[in-house]
A = this chain, B = another copy of it.
Amino acid sequence: MSNPVRIAPRSGVAFGLSKGQTLTVIDPDGCQVADLLAFAAKDVREVISNGRTFDYEETLRLTTGNTLWSNRSRRLLTITADSVGCHDFLLTPCSKATFRHFYPDKPVHRGCFGNLAEALAPWGVVEDDIPVAFNCFMNVPVAADGAISVEPPPSKAGDSISLRAEEDLIIGLTACSAYASNGGSFKPIDYRIE
């Protein structure tokens, strides 16, 4: 098994993932979130869609066996292993605007949105093409009345989720920059491709 690659706290990367390869996202220290995006390599206007995924998977709680579908109704990633079972596909990547809104007394950070935009720009992805990310390990309970909140992730050190590429993909992946989503700490994220 290859050594994992480390994503520094509050940063992001982008890389190719070939059809059939498996990406494993690891929370090395526990209680951290990784925002994951997947674009079709042959046309980055095709991208994972929370709405299409909720349509076809018929659940908000995605785990082993579920697929992340694209805006063009094609399968892009299938979850093949998951030691946490708690991820979010409702909320957008944190950004300068969300920092100003939620943390008005704290320094503004470009957040996962800014990190993804920079990392994905060389692949031809522009800011408006960045949709809701699949937020690995993010804990967003939905109350009976529809109210949502952001709670600390339940992931422990070494927990992971694995996803198999169903097409040739460009992946964007971050170590989350927001306070609420990771319990107030900024930690790295590791990943491995097999």
The interface of chain A, by Cβ under 8 A from chain B, is 45-46, 49-52, 54-56, 58-61, 71-73, 90-92, 95, 97-98, 101, 128, 131-132, 142, 144-149
Residue in A51, A73, A90, A91 with the greatest tally of chain B CB atoms within 10 Å? A51
Known: A51-B90, A51-B91, A131-B131. 18 other contacts (CB 8 A): A45-B128, A49-B92, A50-B51, A52-B92, A55-B91, A55-B92, A56-B101, A58-B149, A59-B148, A60-B146, A60-B147, A60-B148, A61-B145, A61-B146, A71-B92, A72-B128, A73-B98, A73-B101
Chain B residue with minimal CB distance to A135?
Answer: B51
Tell whether, in the assembled complex, residue A46 and residue B145 are in contact, meaning their CB atoms are under 8 Å apart.
Answer: no
How distant is A147 from chain B, measured CB to nearest CB, in Å? 5
> What would 19 A/B residue contacts be, using CB atoms closer than 8 Å?
A45-B128, A49-B132, A50-B50, A51-B131, A54-B90, A54-B91, A55-B91, A55-B92, A55-B98, A60-B90, A61-B145, A71-B128, A71-B131, A73-B97, A73-B98, A73-B101, A131-B131, A142-B142, A144-B144
Once the chains are docked, how many angstroms separate the CA of A56 from the CA of B142? 15
Number of copies: 2
How distant is A127 from chain B, measured CB to nearest CB, in Å? 8
Task: Note all chain B residues with C-beta closer than 8 A to A148.
Answer: 54, 58-60
How distant is A112 from chain B, measured CB to nearest CB, in Å? 12
Task: Note all chain B residues with C-beta closer than 8 A to A72.
Answer: 97, 128
How distant is A28 from chain B, measured CB to nearest CB, in Å? 27
Q: A56-B101, A60-B148 are in contact. Are A51 and B132 (CB under 8 A)?
A: yes
Task: Note all chain B residues with C-beta closer than 8 A to A49.
Answer: 92, 132
Task: Note all chain B residues with C-beta closer than 8 A to A91.
Answer: 51, 54-55
How distant is A58 from chain B, measured CB to nearest CB, in Å? 6
Once the chains are docked, how many angstroms separate the CA of A95 from the CA of B52? 10
Task: Note all chain B residues with C-beta closer than 8 A to A132.
Answer: 49-51
